[in-house]
Amino acid sequence: MALSPLQRKITRHALAAIAVLCLVFTSASLLLTLEAGTLQLDGDYPDGPARLILSSLALVRFGGIVGDPPDYQVTLLWFLNAFGWKWPSASWDLSCGIVHNIDGLLPGAALTLPDDLGEAAARMRLPKSDWQCLRNHRGAEGGICHNPFLAAWDAEKLSPTSFTTAPALWLFYFTGTVLFAILLQEIGIRWLPALTRCYCPGLVSRNGLCPCLKSDEKLTPDVRTRMRTWYLVLLAISYTAASTLLTLKGLALVRFLKGLDSRIGGMDAQLGTAYIKLSAFTLIAILLSVLCLRVRQYLEQNKSWMEQQGVDATTLTEPGAKPTDEEATQDLLI
């Protein structure tokens, strides 16, 4: 059933609102992923255990160091920008901690095993005799570890194995840059169209791939849709690349730990389900915003005869009266 002009207008505005909300969700998701695990939060007064911020968004979690397998008291958490632990049964000052953290905006040190397990044990204030067998740990002197978990790692005689999230972090930064570019583009479309102009090579221009307003174009609804779609597709590609690369890094760590589990035992390494769900929902939100733009474009291209003539049937009061070109397309600027 064909939509009336009023229904068409309401639908276009609703689709625009959905697209905006999807981008707001994408921005929030990106910030949460970057922030997860990088701060310690105090527990409930007076003795409640502290916690790492957004610890549920850990990329990988596994048990170890304190306790007996498989019921370790400590859970080790690896995030995009941090590596730390939580130890709920310890005193509040030891109940969580960060071994590696982001260095300003630059990637922090890579996770290195088993060295960083010794570092975590040291920061938990365990006796030096518990972790000194990890010879590559800073200040360690070798010898025998009294801690069974760390002794088992030492018995493997592994060379230090590093896992870095730096490439994924730079891709997430690029995704954030694309989101900022989308904001600037909307400001240009609404108030400063001249700033959206650029030169596109002939091949790009002929294939409708120019991301900005060409010198010989007017800011028509189709042009706006093309410009917005270009950046949204770039956003989808960059976010997919970043989240996929980070997930693959997490899977590599999980496989590495599971390969040792039969000998060390009880680590129960797992990929973070909350992170996977957040990434999936974020990608769906980006794709939904693209779909909303395409549906809006379809509604624009399939207007009634009166709408094609620039007449708004919902506001027409005099025979033959019609709005200016600016008024006829103002509702499409959202």
Residues 6+ apart with CB under 8 A from 76: 61, 62, 63, 64, 65, 83, 84, 85, 117, 120
Kindly state the tokens that stand for 261: 């589990």
Last residue of a domain, one of 137, 164, 191: 164
67 and 200 assigned to the same domain: no
72 and 139 assigned to the same domain: yes
Residue by residue, what is the 3-state secondary structure of 6-54? Answer: HHHHHHHHHHHHHHHHHHHHHHHHHHHHHHCCCCEECCCCCCCCCEECC
pLDDT of 139: 55
Full residue range of the structural domain in which residue 19 is found: 5-35+169-241+283-333
13 and 85 assigned to the same domain: no
321 and 194 assigned to the same domain: yes
Q: Which of 131, 128, 130, 97 is nearest to 114 (CA)?
A: 131
125 and 60 assigned to the same domain: yes
Rg of the chain over all Cα atoms, to the nearest angstrom: 27
pLDDT of 199: 76
Tell me how many domains the chain contains: 2
179 and 327 assigned to the same domain: yes
Residue 282: burial class (beta carbons within 10 Å; 0-12, 13-18, 19+): buried
pLDDT (tens, 9 = 90+) of the chain, 334 residues, equals: 566 777 778 888 898 899 999 999 999 999 999 999 999 988 776 666 889 999 999 999 999 999 888 889 999 999 999 999 999 988 888 899 999 998 888 888 899 999 999 999 999 999 988 988 886 655 555 678 889 999 999 888 888 899 999 999 999 999 999 999 999 988 888 888 877 887 777 776 666 677 777 777 787 878 888 888 889 999 999 999 999 999 999 999 999 999 998 888 889 999 999 999 999 999 999 999 999 988 887 877 765 544 554 555 444 444 444 444 444 444 434 4
Is residue 278 one of the residues assigned to a domain?
Answer: no
Q: Which alpha helices (DSSP H) does 95-220 contain, by range?
A: 115-123, 128-131, 148-155, 166-191, 202-206
Contacts of 180-188 spanning 24+ positions with Cβ under 8 A: 181/231, 182/23, 182/228, 182/231, 182/232, 182/235, 185/227, 185/228, 185/231
Kindly state the tokens that stand for 297: 């474009």
111 and 223 assigned to the same domain: no
Give the separation between CA 67 and CA 103, rounded to whole angstroms: 32
pLDDT of 144: 81
Q: What is the pLDDT of residues 79-129, one digit of tens each?
A: 999 999 999 988 888 899 999 998 888 888 899 999 999 999 999 999 988
Is residue 204 one of the residues assigned to a domain?
Answer: yes
Q: How many CB atoms lie within 10 A of CB 23?
A: 19
121 and 232 assigned to the same domain: no
Q: What is the pLDDT of residues 167-198, one digit of tens each?
A: 999 999 999 999 999 999 888 888 888 778 87
Is residue 96 one of the residues assigned to a domain?
Answer: yes
| Upstream peptide bond of 46 is cis (omega within 30 degrees of 0) | yes
Is residue 275 one of the residues assigned to a domain?
Answer: no
229 and 291 assigned to the same domain: yes
Last residue of a domain, one of 118, 137, 164: 164
62 and 108 assigned to the same domain: yes
Residues 6+ apart with CB under 8 A from 70: 63, 265, 266, 268
Q: How many CB atoms lie within 10 A of CB 306?
A: 13
Is residue 322 one of the residues assigned to a domain?
Answer: yes
pLDDT of 245: 97
CA torsion angle 72 78 79 81 (round to 10): 130
Is residue 140 one of the residues assigned to a domain?
Answer: yes
187 and 318 assigned to the same domain: yes
Residues in the chain: 334
Last residue of a domain, one of 164, 188, 220: 164
Give the separation between CA 259 and CA 117, rounded to whole angstroms: 17
Give the separation between CA 207 and CA 164, rounded to whole angstroms: 39
Is residue 14 one of the residues assigned to a domain?
Answer: yes
